[in-house]
């Protein structure tokens, strides 16, 4: 893994200058989550020390929130499948499903960066309605919040993974 953070690696090819920070954050999340969770047992993936969200939740939630906020950025509404997936983010994760969860996260982040290459910078201030309440935001508001929220949960995931490694049996 390259130890230089993405924001110090230069521009991401094809991404508008105003969206470079979003791309950098998503790529940083993409690169750092795997090593954070490597070697965790099923019980460690699902542990909730002190009642905090599990590692399993964070991995699913990062993928889900990026998916949902990019949907809103496109001006679309959530599909029934997205709503169902959101409701399942807190479910326990079986060891057999860890690889699929990490692959889904990587694929969602890759798709988000690819989608950033298609965003017209002139649309960044366009209004977007969020959720059932149709709360007001903008294209850039959705994209920045997707990245910020993903990084926030990556930080929480990092702490949770360290705590469960130190406090739960590894076998």
Structure-model confidence comparison of residues 1 and 65, the more confident one: 65
Task: pLDDT band for 3, please (50, 70, 90 cuts).
Answer: confident
Task: Give the mean pLDDT of 112-124.
Answer: 97
The rounded distance, in Å, linking the Cα atoms of 50 and 63 is 24
Task: pLDDT band for 90, please (50, 70, 90 cuts).
Answer: very high
| Domain spans in the chain, listed from the N-terminal domain onward | 19-167
The reported pLDDT for the residue numbered 131 is 92
Task: Give the mean pLDDT of 63-91.
Answer: 96
110-116: long-range pairs with CB below 8 Å, 24+: 110/30, 112/26, 112/66, 112/70, 112/146, 113/12, 113/15, 113/23, 113/26, 113/27, 113/30, 115/70, 116/12, 116/15, 116/16, 116/19, 116/22, 116/23, 116/26, 116/143
Task: pLDDT band for 159, please (50, 70, 90 cuts).
Answer: very high
Tell me, which fold does domain 19-167 have in CATH?
1.20.120
């Amino acid at each position: 893994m390259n130890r230089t953070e993405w924001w110090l690696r230069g521009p991401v090819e094809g991404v508008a200058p105003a969206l470079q920070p979003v791309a950098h954050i998503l790529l940083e999340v993409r690169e750092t989550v795997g090593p954070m969770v490597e070697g965790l047992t099923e019980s460690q993936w699902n542990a909730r020390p002190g009642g905090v969200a599990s590692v399993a939740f964070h991995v699913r939630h990062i993928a889900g929130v990026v998916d949902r906020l990019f949907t809103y950025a496109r001006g679309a509404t959530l599909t029934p499948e997205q709503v169902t997936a959101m409701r399942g983010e807190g479910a326990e994760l079986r060891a057999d499903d860890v690889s699929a969860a990490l692959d889904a996260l990587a694929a969602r982040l890759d798709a988000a960066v690819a989608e950033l290459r298609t965003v017209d910078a002139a649309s960044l201030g366009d209004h977007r309605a969020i959720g059932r309440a149709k709360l007001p935001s903008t294209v850039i508001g959705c994209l920045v919040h997707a990245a910020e929220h993903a990084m926030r949960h990556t930080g929480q995931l990092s702490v949770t993974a360290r705590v469960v490694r130190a406090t739960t049996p590894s076998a």
